[in-house]
Amino acid sequence: MKRATIRDVAADAGVSIGTASKALNGQGRLRPETRERVAEAARRLGFAPNPLAQALLAGRTYTVGMITTDSFGRFSIPVMLGAEDALGAGQMSVFMCDTRDDPERERRYVEMLTARRVDGLIVTGRRIEPRPAIGPRMGIPVVYAMTQAADSDEPAVLPDDVGGGQAAAQHLLATGRRRIAHITGPERFLAARKRATGLTEVLGAAGVPVADGGVLYGEWSERWGREATARLLEQAPDTDAIFCGSDQIARGAGDALRLTGRRVPDDIALIGFDNWDPMVRGSDPPLTSVDMCLEDVGRAAAEDLLAAIGGEAAHGVRTVPCRLVVRESSAAAGQPEVAPVVSAGGGADC
């Protein structure tokens, strides 16, 4: 059966092709009865508008570019999945581009996406540190996710690292721990400093000092977790909880605790950060960890981008609540069962 065209609709409704097109696309100043007659003709003939033609009429391509510097790693993948969910609901197609952290490769992708006339761009990465802005040279809406633009108020969506540290501290205090240490990554990383800030704020308000005299900054590795924990136990042997800035650090800390005969959680509670499934479920016992809810970050970024494309642009940085997923490694002393889930910052489960 031949597919109906706009010409067929116009002939059936007794109007010109231009009038039929305006009526179906909500354009022009037409009488209501004319619009209704054209709509009825379209329904009767089973006419389906051409999406590409409609996009061209609206000055849009219904496509979005996504640029990542994370080589589709464990941070950018959930961000992208969340963004795709929101963009798919908005009937947007997505071009995904991996820059491999190469500025020249990124420049070429930006040029390619501009040539394809994408309606907007989401930029994501593996660190929340500010990076060079893309927006000014694009001329289209740009939203950052899991990263942010330097010297720009372009919208960015980040996980609430401060809130994640606060949730970890609140949980440890609630389970009776009072000699709490913090082992984390390099101090130059904004995420490491924010997580430490969240922890120390809550402990300070409770009158509880950080064990070993302060935060132990190092690197994002199991090796650092082992080294820092061995040092900690020498200098502060009465430590009863360790909050780690990543799950990898926590795995290393757990190894060191076992070597010294410390039991988790009976002697020392242990908490990680990232809720990276292979790490938390492969730990013995399973590791309590802060989940950054990265799919929610991606979803929020995509929603901001859709709003900007529609003329309602956001500005500045906003955060998405993290979620503390409690497992056996941080149960109350003498009570090794799994505690209930605690949401950081009062946010919903991700």
CATH of the domain at 127: 3.40.50.2300
Residue 43 lies in domain: 6-58
Residue 201 lies in a domain: yes
Query: For position 18, which CATH number holds?
Result: 1.10.260.40
Does residue 222 sit in the same domain as residue 342? yes
- SS3 letters for the chain? CCCCCHHHHHHHHCCCHHHHHHHHCCCCCCCHHHHHHHHHHHHHHCCCCCHHHHHHHHCCCCEEEEEECCCCCCCHHHHHHHHHHHHHHCCCEEEEEECCCCHHHHHHHHHHHHHCCCCEEEEECCCCCEECCCHHHHCCCEEEECCEECCCCCCEEEECHHHHHHHHHHHHHHCCCCCEEEEECCCCCHHHHHHHHHHHHHHHHCCCCCHHHCCEECCCCHHHHHHHHHHHHHHCCCCCEEEECCHHHHHHHHHHHHHCCCCCCCCCEEEEECCCHHHHHHCCCCCEEEECCHHHHHHHHHHHHHHHHCCCCCCCEEEECCEEECCHHHCCCCCCCCCCCEEHHHCCCC
Residue 275 lies in a domain: yes
Does residue 247 sit in the same domain as residue 210? yes
Residue 124 lies in a domain: yes
Residue 216 lies in a domain: yes
Model pTM? 0.79
- Taking only the tens of pLDDT, the chain with its 350 residues reads 567 777 888 899 998 877 887 787 776 778 888 999 998 998 888 887 655 455 544 567 889 999 998 766 778 889 988 998 888 766 788 898 999 889 899 999 999 998 888 999 999 988 899 999 886 667 889 999 999 999 888 999 999 999 999 999 999 999 999 999 999 999 999 999 999 999 999 999 999 999 988 899 999 999 999 999 999 999 999 999 999 999 999 999 999 999 999 999 999 999 999 999 999 999 999 999 999 999 999 999 999 998 888 888 889 999 999 999 999 999 865 443 433 344 443 334 46
Does residue 223 sit in the same domain as residue 339? yes
**Domain count across the chain:** 3
Q: pLDDT by residue (tens digit) across 162-189?
A: 999 999 999 999 999 999 999 999 999 9
Domain's final residue, options 58, 81, 96: 58
Does residue 239 sit in the same domain as residue 342? yes
Does residue 184 sit in the same domain as residue 332? yes
Does residue 13 sit in the same domain as residue 69? no
